[in-house]
Structure 1
Amino acid sequence: MKEVRTRFAPSPTGYMHIGNLRTAIYEYLIAKSQGGKFLLRIEDTDQARFVEGAIEVILKTLSIVGLKYDEGPDIGGPFGPYVQSQRKSIYKDYADKLVKLEGAYYCFCSKERLESSKKNNDSTSDPFKHMCHCKNLSVSEVSEKLKSNEPYVIRQRIPEGGTTSFHDLVYGTVTVENSELDEGVLLKSDGLPTYNFANVVDDHLMEITHVVRGSEYLSSTPKYNLLYTAFGWDIPEYIHLPPIMKTAEKKLSKREGDASFEDFISKGYLPEAIVNYIVLLGWNPGSNEEFFSLQELEKSFNTEGLSKSPAIFDLNKLKWMNGEYLRRLSLEDFNALALPYYKQVLDSKMDFKKISALLQKRTEILSEIPEKVDFLNSLPDYDIMLYVHKKMKTDVANSLNNLRAAKEAMSTIETWDLANIEENLANLISKLEVKNGQVLWPLRTALSGLESSPGGALELAELLGKTETLRRIEVGISKLTNTAS
């Protein structure tokens, strides 16, 4: 059986779009689930769109998410180079060979003629097709023009009639009328290939068995197959993916301000959660299971689960999944991830691990942490109505009385730890003959100044220390006293 070989072939044009990453993940899983090879190839023939540093972004992204490629630009392999701009001579040789095989022809049309053709086409609603007379030139006429060093491109020769069909593992059989296909440029005048030509040559030479790309390439695939056929090469398996949508009508797009992979990482999403969520955007595992490690996916992934329906990117679902991943971490691992965020707003003397114990179950994204804990650094100005809680049966009057009692009782604690704080307040509540909430709610409000906080009154008091706890209670008493008077 032929070894499965897939490739991720991004263009170095900047960020890693979520759709690009999904393609990479599927390519990787198709190979690894069948014991095959996964390659990385950089498609940089469109130098006008090249962005400095973009290749490094690609390499870094694949490393972060754990997609280890078997061959690539930085590690080499038997079919290198793996950067298209370094394969220029290869494309020229194959383009000339294709001309001899009558799958392509030399086009000497000037820019002026091309522009004139486009202007004439503007009056119709049909897509522009270059009607080139160069394909009818005799061998001697072509030879003469080449000897005269006339500028040229090499165009694909499309059969004038009939249809071209191919089978896609997601969309089934797709058939296109050859008359609808444009005889596009394969090799530009500067000697660089277009994407349409380079990807076919490279996929053949690198022995790629499965090609995964977006459904927008469905209409172009017949042109690729005509190239394969002209060369007499085996045609790979095709897997075209539907788009990832922001809404039912709108695609996810960085241009529209939608987040890239790097954006999600900088916001505090875990790579494992992002990969898990993206995999499910267009793939059904055949069960109700939603959580998969990359290693589990390498074993369970199959192309039968791929859907041809567009997937809606639900940010709330990603946040929920990320929160679940955070909760499944050990306390030590969560604390290590949270540490840089704590240091943005908190004094280094704080017991970060105790904060993590309170925060881990209440955090969905790591970047939320500073706003969740900055009250520990300084008490925010808060509305006195926070003390009024119907369920806890607290109002301004009883909150004031109970805060005064709490301050007096807590000032007697000698060893300030959670156990002693809990015992002290339990005795106070028993003495006052009130419900727990009538003491703990006002106390928690005074210590946090927030409607909700990562911990209750006892935990916050321990974290803040005796001096700061008593000071904040006094602030609360002052606020309540001014209101009561």
Structure 2
Amino acid sequence: MSDIRVRFAPSPTGALHLGGARTAIYNWLFARANEGQFLLRIEDTDTKRSKKEYIEQIYESLRWLGMSWDEEPVFQSQRMAAYQQAAQELLQSGSAYYCFCTSEELEARRKASGVYQYDRKCRSLSETEINTHLNVGKKAAIRCNVPAGTTEWSDCVYGKISVNNDEIDDFILLRSNGFPTYQFAVVVDDIFMRISHVIRGEDHISNTPKQILLYKAFGAGIPEFAHLPLLNGTDGKRLSKRHGATGVDEYRDQGYPAEAVFNYLAILGWVPKDGNEILKPAELVQRFLLADIARKSAVFDLKKFDWVSNEHIKRMENAEICRHILPILIDNHLISAEPDESGRQYILKFIDLMKSRFRNFRQFAELGSYFFKDPETYEDKAVRKNWKETEVNRRMAILLDKLQQLEEFSAVSIESTVRELADELDISAGKLIHPLRLAVSGYSVGPGIFELLEFLGKETVLRRIQAALQRLPVSE
């Protein structure tokens, strides 16, 4: 086992979103690729917004994606004493100082000077002045004593980054209410958790120099940093609800395979050198290199995602798909309960015929319902295009009669019958095939029509054609 230890540190103020899930995936892939440890930290110091149900949802989403963590999760809310102790350590070393300025005083001085950065008024307070304020119970924050000089690091994605310390405010470590700021808590925790690599979104680049100063103040080793390009929508703007679903649980509930979600998020901003984009988690682990992550913002494209998902479904074993869709078929009242062996074999044949067409498991019920019940409606556009005159009814009545006479109801015999009738009527075969598909499925597209009819069986096909002849509207 290597010394590599990474962490995923979500705040339980909402459901796990796609950007957070991708960060978790890259941390997990890096850890597993290097025989390291993948840790979980719950950053729940925002007591008003943090909720237990969100913690459970984060757990469920990570497990659903196939990611397990290697140690018990660390909760920031349970580490308040550690932050207090760490702040005292920095006070004693001179790397931090008490600040007694109120928010009103700070705002007034900023308005007067036109400078937002803290003016360091409390930095030069004597020990006597500090004790006087503390003894009378005056509330104090604790600020970092930012030294002069330059802070730089070599980012695993963005390369060398350098910041002049003059640009860094004497930022607050502990607020006057005793709660730690994000900058302080994450460093104290990362030292405690022995984190070797911090892999997170590029929106944290501006936080990094402050955190490096704290590592140095504690005399701790500085981890490697890798900042990931953010996720954008197809319009180039940061991914949000306006682009559609953004929560991992939303895609789970829509019926997307977990491996497909994992796969697509993994290749947003990183693609294996062999160019293969359809990979299972174990295959991604074998190929993952932190240095290959692109700097350019990644675009979440639902069409590309649907393609990835369809590829996973096509490659999935029929029995595995069956396990996922049985509850969906039951929920949609397409089957009444767990099927017997005959029913199960029918469903497996249905899956084999249709899995190349579907992007998620729910579509097996939504777009494949006609395999289990007669169509209740017909696609409007298809009706207007393929069944718009009474002549169609006449042709379909003749076809119905010929299909009734077939002794062998196979794809070959059905196709021969349809094409022979088309020749007799001096029309293209499509003028029979398209209405026929509409009658038996309710849709204009689907699997090969002759294979479909054989699959459904003679009794079902004849019944559905008869129903269509009675129900479909005609323009004349």
**Shorter-normalised TM-score: what interval?**
0.7 to 0.9
The separation in 2 between residues aligned to 1:424 and 1:405, in whole angstroms, is: 16
- The structural deviation recorded for 1:95 is 0.3
Q: 2:397 aligns with which of 400, 404, 410?
A: 404
Structure 2 residue aligned with 1:216, among 203, 215, 225?
Answer: 203
Deviations 1:325-355 (A, max 9, x none): 0111112222222223333445427843343
Report the TM-score when normalising by structure 1. 0.86
- Cross-structure match for 2:375: 378
Which moves more between the two structures, 136-145 or 272-281?
136-145
For the 8 Å contact 1:10–1:20, the answer to whether it is kept is: yes
Per-residue deviation, residues 460-480 of structure 1 (Å, max 9, x unmatched): 4653761x5334323444578
Task: Give the secondary structure class of the aligned counterpart of 2:225.
Answer: strand
Structure 2 alignment gaps of length 5 or more: 337-342
Tell me, yes or no, if the aligned pair for 1:176 and 1:219 is still in contact at 8 Å. no
Q: CA deviation at 1:230?
A: 1.6
Pairing 1:19-418 to 2, within 5 Å after superposition:
19-73=19-73, 82-120=74-112, 124=114, 128-159=116-147, 161-247=148-234, 249-254=236-241, 258-348=245-335, 351-375=346-370, 376-381=373-378, 386=383, 399-412=392-405
Q: Give deviations 1:173-219, integer Å, cap 9, x for gaps.
A: 11112121111211122322111001111111211110111112212
Q: TM-score, normalised by structure 2?
A: 0.88
Closer/same/farther in 2, CA of residues 381 and 40 from structure 1, 3 Å limit: closer
Cα distance, 1:356–1:180 mapped onto 2, change above 3 Å: same
| Structure 1: distance between partners of 2:454 and 2:396 | 13
Of 420, 423, 429, the residue aligned with 2:409 is 420
Q: Deviations over 1:4-54 (max 9, x none)?
A: 111111111111121111111111122221111111111112223313411
Q: Which residue of 2 aligns with 1:448?
A: 441
Q: Where does the alignment leave 5 or more consecutive residues of structure 1 unmatched?
A: 74-81
SS at match of 2:152: strand
Inter-CA distance 431–217: structure 2 relative to 1 (3 Å threshold): closer
| Conserved? CA contact 1:344–1:370, under 8 Å | no
What secondary structure is seen at the aligned counterpart in 1 of 2:16? coil
- In 2, the alpha carbon distance for the partners of 1:256 and 1:462 equals 39
Distance 1:481 1:146 in 2: 86
Which residue of structure 2 aligns with residue 76 of structure 1? none
C-alpha distance in 2 between matches for 1:112 and 1:315: 48
Does the 8 Å CA contact 1:95/1:186 hold for their aligned counterparts? yes
Three-state SS of the structure 1 residue aligned to 2:94 is coil
Q: Which moved more, 1:296-305 or 1:337-346?
A: 337-346
Letter paired with 2:208: T
| Worse-superposed segment, 207-216 or 40-49 | 40-49
CA–CA separation in structure 2 for the residues paired with 1:163 and 1:119: 28
TM-align CA RMSD: 2.9
Paired letter, 1:452: V
> What does the per-residue CA deviation read over 1:348-394, in whole Å, with 9 as the maximum and x for residues that have no partner?
278433432332111012333343134544331456975966xxxx9
For residues 159 and 419 of structure 2, what CA distance do their matches in structure 1 show? Answer: 73
Give the share of equivalent positions with the same residue, in percent: 35
CA distances 1:293-349 after superposition (whole Å, capped 9, x unpaired): 211222221112111111111111000000010111112222222223333445427
Alpha carbons 2:173, 2:184 under 8 Å: kept: yes
CA distance in 2, matches of 1:449, 1:271: 30
Whether contact under 8 Å (1:387, 1:399) holds in the other structure is no
Decide whether aligned partners of structure 1 residues 480 and 146 sit closer, same or farther in structure 2, where only a CA change above 3 A counts: closer
My pick for the range that moved more, 39-48 or 363-372, is 363-372
